[in-house]
Chain A
Amino acid sequence: MTEPLLEVDDLEVSFGDVPAVRGAGFRLMPGERVAVVGASGSGKSTTAHAIMGLLPGTGHVTSGRIRFRGEDVTHAGEHRLRRLRGREIGLVPQDPMSNLNPVSRVGHQVAETLVAHGLAGRGEAKRRAVEILAEAGLPDPARRARQYPHEFSGGMRQRVLIAIGLACRPDLLIADEPTSALDVTVQRQILDHLEKLTQDLGTALLLVTHDLGLAADRADHVVVMSDGQVVETGPAREILTDPEHEYTRRLVAAAPSLTTTTHRSAPAAEPVLEVAGVSKEYRIRGGGGALRAADDVSFTVRRGQTTAIVGESGSGKTTTAHMVLGLVAPTSGTIQLDGTDVTAGRRTARRAMQAVFQDPYGSLDPMFTVERLITEPLRIFGIGDRSSRRARVAELLDQVGLTPSMAQRYPNELSGGQRQRVAIARALAPSPRLVVCDEAVSALDVLVQDQILRLLESLQQELGLSYLFISHDLAVVRSIAHDVVVMRNGRVVEQGPVAQVLGSPADPYTQQLLDAIPGAGVFS
């Protein structure tokens, strides 16, 4: 048996006096791919940072051992760590937007890594940088090397960062949420590429991710972390199909991409919202011409049901949602709510149509109490008086699964899931018929996401609500929608009942999106 490449034993890390990692342990063999999975705050990134000696601020290892190729590097000096980082352990960071220096040419940034580790002289490094960029799958690498990061797309930047991570041919590559900021189809390409490169070079991979499906897809071994502890480790397939720990079981059950959902059947119902031939053009600044953010979009939302719009960034799904909400005026086309044109009778339409946004940290005014947040639409529409509004707040809080005592709290005193519940309560306050959910669960951890989705579902049954559900996540859409509209480049490429569109997609793009769902292949 060969010696393990990386061994983490009983690792404990604290920030100040607050423990972040409490006894984490796992091992990684040479060339092996291990994924560390957990929700935010589980300590997975902190563990990865501790391995590289990159703990920020007051973070420090309080006990335990990290051994790299048998050598104890837990408390290694800065000199040793500098050689370790980049040369022996490469890192692919999470955010491709902020991890490249915007004022330095891309080729130079790759070359810098080589020079810094003494692997090449200036001239040699320059030539090698172009080779490395070519290896990263960049077309026309010689020209690309002279460009600046803002000239690259998100996916291209992540390729560059992978190239930098692998430039010195390390034995281990740590990838910290390498694709969380990217579209699903791009994510897939990047991960395929990462997999091929590490395989060709024989590099071991430590993948840190919140996505259990992705972990199962891309790793041999999965380490599940929760509250700073490793709750379960094992072969990827086993963890997913036969989870032993209670937490893993909940995680697997909650992951929308892993559940074999029965599609929601859609009994015939009359439409609440009818969008017909809607387009939105933006004039491009400087040169003439116009950008068609939405192009001849038509769909309906039926009473008591959910229509989901799926698409990647730039598909026009958010523009469409904003037009429905009356935040953006369409260039052409009509939007009707219960047969009346929305653009005409704005105020009544607004009351019948409310929204829940993506970021529960941003969509609630931090200076407002929960009660004031929820009563704001009531005050604007002049519904009820002081005491009836107060009673309504209690009722709404109860409906979204919060206790009435939370009415006097401020948003920063609540967790992400609780905040999103408050946002839902606020949307429900004026008794709307239609709720537009714009990526309403995308920013939430899997377990919380599942709870919010179940909440939306039960509210729909109870109150007969209709949802227009905007999402980039096909797996989530599959579990909540009755009808699906797939958008790309401002156009609708396919729409229909969820079983039909996702079960037997007619358009190749829909198929591509389906294939890109991580973990999809595990059960088949």
Chain B
Amino acid sequence: MTAVDPVAAGEPGSEHGSGLGRVRGRVLRKLWQNPMGVVGGVLLLIVLIAGVFAPWLAPYPPTQVHFTTPFQQPFTVGFALGTDDLGRDVLSRVLYGTRASLEVGVLSVLLAVAVGVPLGLLAGYWRWLDAVVSRLADVMLAFPFLILAVGLAAINGGGIGNAAIALGIANIPTMVRVVRAETLRLKESDFVLAAHTMDAGATRILAHHILPNALSAIIVQATVIMPSAVLGEAILSFLGLGIQPPDPSLGIMLSDAQQYLFRTVWPGVFPGVAIAVICLGFNLFGDALRDALDPKAQRVRKGKR
């Protein structure tokens, strides 16, 4: 009905398809093309299988003691990775320890996201709140998380929850900063300006426009927090502030192995390798994910050619 020539409607649009599905497909394709992403993904898959299926994969309960066979070398019959000072199966304990590490990691990431994302959105959107939230984040960043963990352990006693809460709190400020920066950027974008002219309220703008567009940055930051939380759990448990013996934890295994270092190194090597693999997996995968999600790489150049 308009006087516009139909050529306009048939301008070179691109192929049809559900947008989010296509975005996900493109991100996965980019991850797959990146050797870093492939290696990280494979490591992560191994770690996740080990952690999730530990009860089925482990040949023994992690706390079962074999008094007759302490300090078994790896690859002996019945004990694939040997045994420790009490004759506990190292393989079983590494599997369960990985599971505990992942639990702490996931819980602390959830905590950091649950608190950090809303705070970051608010701080980025309202200037007056920004001063308060950002200074608070500065203070928290300056506060050593070990002291926080000691304090929490003094109140609650140790345990998985304690470690997760301490590590979650310690990672809130970085999440706040990332989300705040994204919000500051997005709130100046034209589509938010357009939403303002439609009389959209702050809630709508934050929930419908800013949060979905900040999601990729949040996911990437989560993959950064995850390995640092896994490492943090190992440190806390090593110091006796996290998971309590006899529950298995990679950190506790390291601390136990340390005492017998001159008799055998193996009970300390395998948990160490497990920690390294978990962290490397998340870091590599996170880096590749960041590259794949990078909006600069996605955007078609639209300068005057």
Contacts and interface: CB of A to CB of B under 8 A. Distances in A.
B304 A458 contact: no
B199 A355 contact: no
Interface in A407-441: 408-410, 412-418, 421, 423, 426, 430, 436
B160 to A, nearest CB: 36
B304 A350 contact: no
Contact of A409 (B1, B3, B4, B13): B13
Contacts of A146: none
Q: How large is the interface on B (under 10, 10 to 19, 20 to 34, 35 or more residues)?
A: 35 or more
Contacts, number: 133
B13 A418 contact: yes
B202 to A, nearest CB: 13
A415 B2 contact: no
B303 A43 contact: no
A451 B4 contact: yes
Q: Is the interface of B mostly helix, strand, loop or mixed?
A: loop
B193 A327 contact: yes
Interface string B194-228: 11111110001000110011000000000000000
A40 interface: yes
B19 A380 contact: no
A182 interface: no
A365 interface: yes
A469 interface: no
Given A364-B191, A365-B191, A459-B2, A354 B12 contact: no
Contacts of B204: 380
A376 B305 contact: no
Nearest to B191: A365
Given A327-B196, A347-B199, A421 B8 contact: yes
A41 interface: yes
A351 B212 CA distance: 26
A140 B85 CA distance: 83
Contacts of A180: 304
B125 to A, nearest CB: 16
Given A350-B197, A401-B4, A454-B3, A363 B191 contact: yes
Contacts of B9: 401-403, 418
Interface residues of A, number: 66
B190 A177 contact: no
A430 B19 CA distance: 26
Interface string A380-417: 11000000000000000011111101101110111111
A383 to B, nearest CB: 11
B259 interface: no
B1 A376 contact: no
B304 A45 contact: yes
A458 B19 contact: no
Interface in B4-45: 4-6, 8-9, 11-19, 22
Contacts of B208: 365, 376
B17 to A, nearest CB: 8
B263 interface: no
A401 B304 contact: no
B258 interface: no
Contacts of B304: 40, 45, 94, 177, 180, 210
A495 B175 CA distance: 52
A409 B16 contact: yes
Given A413-B14, A413-B19, A417-B8, A398 B1 contact: yes
Task: Give the residue among A41, A46, A367 with the most B Cβ atoms within 10 A.
Answer: A367
Nearest to B295: A366
A86 B13 CA distance: 39
Given A376-B200, A409-B19, A455-B2, A42 B11 contact: no
A139 B188 CA distance: 37
Contacts of B6: 401
Contacts of A414: 13-14
A496 to B, nearest CB: 28
A455 B196 CA distance: 25
B305 A377 contact: no
Smallest CB-CB A-B distances: 5 pairs: A410-B19, A362-B190, A363-B190, A350-B199, A401-B4
Interface of B: 1-6, 8-9, 11-19, 22, 189-191, 193-200, 204, 208-209, 212-213, 298, 300, 302-305
Given A365-B191, A377-B198, A398-B1, 5 more contacts: A365-B195, A367-B209, A380-B200, A436-B197, A448-B11
6 contacts: A350-B197, A355-B194, A365-B209, A367-B212, A436-B197, A451-B5
